[in-house]
């Protein structure tokens, strides 16, 4: 019964009336055959939980000229490190549609040239999406999205794409957040194997520690790759290993042997899991102890110095 002319199971109420008549639309809304997530939009209940249906409904609610933006657009581009809801939209100046529960509406310029259609949904191009995310979204989510975007590209194209996003940051009409956004962009490598690794990278840098190397290979005496470390400072033989992503499931014994072998080889290994993403107190303490063991105390590497470094970085951003 749902109108055949719809966008992923969503359509404007007036279009539903045009196709099947006012009486049938009212009856369908009254008995739950149709749902209306936002004024003027109806969706097929059988598809109401489908992310594409939710995004399509949000786009229709955004009115003329609306484009999908933010993490929602990143999702349409194939990046899943941040939730696609609430639906994030950008609309031309003059469009007065307000934000609502589940729908975030921004105004923007130059939308036509920066639009690509993905599964029939007008969406901002990826470099503009990421520039906005880097300036306005939680830092760990922004870094994870950029890491995913870089990972999807051939290695030889990553620096060119990074430069394009940097150019977007420099040309933003609103400069707020662009400095920290540029730092986050430079942190991304495209080598993280899960969003959690990107999140942990940001937490470590935000705590004031030096930027670690991502996915460094430890080689045997013959120069053959033996172990790949999630995050590390090779010159200091300090490593951080994240045990929460899929690559570590069902292999706790193997991981334990690997860590012990690294420690016998002179590495200090700090192991982290999903709980450490919520609270970094233990990770900060163990990393601080590791750096002090390697002689960083003589260079002012104290908890107070870490806090001062972190404060300066935030002011700069």
CA-to-CA distance for 170 and 182, rounded, in angstroms? 9
pLDDT digit string (tens) for 154-172? 999 999 999 999 999 999 9
Task: Extract the tokens encoding 240.
Answer: 């951080």
Q: 120 is written with which tokens?
A: 């029939």
For the chain, percent of residues with pLDDT exceeding 70: 90
* Pairing mode of beta strands 115-118, 121-124: antiparallel
Around Cβ 141, how many Cβ atoms within 10 Å? 20
> Which residue(s) pair with 12 in the sheet?
41
- Mention every residue, 6+ apart, whose C-beta is less than 8 A from residue 176: 135
- pTM for the predicted model, two decimal places: 0.86
Q: Tell me the C-alpha distance between 138 and 307, whole Å.
A: 20
Distances 251 to 159, 208, 246, 255, 264 between C-alpha atoms, Å: 35, 32, 10, 6, 20
DSSP β-ladder status, 225-233 and 67-68: unpaired
Is residue 123 classed as helix, strand or coil in its secondary structure?
strand
* Cβ-based burial of 258 (10 A; exposed 0-12, middle 13-18, buried ≥19): middle
Instruction: Summarize the confidence of residues 91-119 as an average pLDDT.
Output: 94
Residue 264 has pLDDT above 80, yes or no: yes
What architecture is domain 195-316? 3-Layer(aba) Sandwich (3.40)
Q: What token pair was written down for 303?
A: 């908890």
User: Domain boundaries in the chain?
Assistant: 195-316
DSSP state of 99: P
Mean pLDDT of 25-45: 95
pLDDT at 307: 55
> Alpha carbon of 48 to those of 56, 83, 207, 225: distances in Å?
11, 17, 41, 49
Number of Cβ within 10 Å of residue 224's Cβ equals 8
76 CB contacts (<8 Å, ≥6 apart)?
55, 68, 84, 118, 119, 121, 123
Residues 165-191: tens digit of each pLDDT: 999 999 998 899 999 999 999 999 999
- DSSP code for 33: S
């Amino acid at each position: 019964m749902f109108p055949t002319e719809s966008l992923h199971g969503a359509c404007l109420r007036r279009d539903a009336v045009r196709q099947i008549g006012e009486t049938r639309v009212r009856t369908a809304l009254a008995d739950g055959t149709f749902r209306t997530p936002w004024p003027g939009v109806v969706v097929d209940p059988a598809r109401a939980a489908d992310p594409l249906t939710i995004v399509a409904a949000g786009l229709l609610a955004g009115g003329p000229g609306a484009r999908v933006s933010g993490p929602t657009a990143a999702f349409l581009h194939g990046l899943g490190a941040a939730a696609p809801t609430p639906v994030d939209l950008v609309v031309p100046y003059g469009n007065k549609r307000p934000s609502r529960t589940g729908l975030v509406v921004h105004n923007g310029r130059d939308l036509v040239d920066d639009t690509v259609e993905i599964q029939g949904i007008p969406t901002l191009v990826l470099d503009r999406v990421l520039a906005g995310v880097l300036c306005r979204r939680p830092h760990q989510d922004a870094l994870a999205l950029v890491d995913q975007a870089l990972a999807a590209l051939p290695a030889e194209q990553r620096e060119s794409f990074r430069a394009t996003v940097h150019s977007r940051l420099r040309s933003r009409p609103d400069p707020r957040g662009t400095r920290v956004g540029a730092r986050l962009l430079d942190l991304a490598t495209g080598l993280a194997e899960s969003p959690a690794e990107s999140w942990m990278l940001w937490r470590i840098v935000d705590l004031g520690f030096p930027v670690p190397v991502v996915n460094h290979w430890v080689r045997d005496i013959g120069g053959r790759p033996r172990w790949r470390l999630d995050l590390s400072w090779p010159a200091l033989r300090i490593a951080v290993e994240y045990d929460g992503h899929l690559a570590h499931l069902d292999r706790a014994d193997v991981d334990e042997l690997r860590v012990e072998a690294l420690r016998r080889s002179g590495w200090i290994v700090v192991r982290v899991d999903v709980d450490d993403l919520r609270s970094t107190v233990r990770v900060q303490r163990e990393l601080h102890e590791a750096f002090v063991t390697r002689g960083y105390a003589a260079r002012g590497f104290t908890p107070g110095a870490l806090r001062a470094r972190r404060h300066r970085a935030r002011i700069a951003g």
